[in-house]
Amino acid sequence: MPSLPIAPEVVVEWLDARDWNLDTLSLEDVPGRVSLRMRHSKGWLVYTGPDTHGVEVHILASTFDPPEGEDEKPEYGDFTCIPLGWVRSVKYRTRKPRKAKDDGQGEPTKA
């Protein structure tokens, strides 16, 4: 089977908007008490570019379905769309190849 391109696996650290309905605050207290949330999302970076509104984004998929036949392509699902202006860092992950393990039936299988 020919090798198909697979989206890179990444961890994105980003700031997220947040609703604040906990307290009433004075104007002076708002900046010190109300802030964005730091998020970490991991998955496959399937797209970087403008979204339908023209905002530059990273789109991550948290599900990867490898091809099962020669005529299939990898498929992705469960998407998170993050505006690039909110991204603090992107770390690319690398995986070591897994060793085949014996399933007890005499044929090695992939773990």
User: What's the pLDDT at 105?
Assistant: 64
CA distance 67 to 104: 26
User: What's the pLDDT at 45?
Assistant: 97
User: What's the pLDDT at 1?
Assistant: 43
What is the chain's pLDDT, residue by residue, as a tens digit (111 residues)?
445 578 999 999 999 998 878 778 899 998 988 899 999 999 999 999 999 999 999 999 999 998 888 899 999 999 999 999 999 999 998 866 666 666 566 665 555
Any bridge partners for residue 16, and if so which?
37
Please report the domains of the chain, with CATH numbers, ordered by start residue: 1-20+34-95 (2.30.30)
DSSP string across the chain: -PPPP-PPEEEEEEEE-----S----TTTHHHH--PEEEEEEEEEEEEEE-TTS-EEEEEEEEEE---STT---EEEEEEEEEGGGEEEEEE---PPPPEEE-SSSSEEE-
Please give the backbone phi and psi of residue 31, each rounded to the nearest 5 degrees, phi first: -60, -30
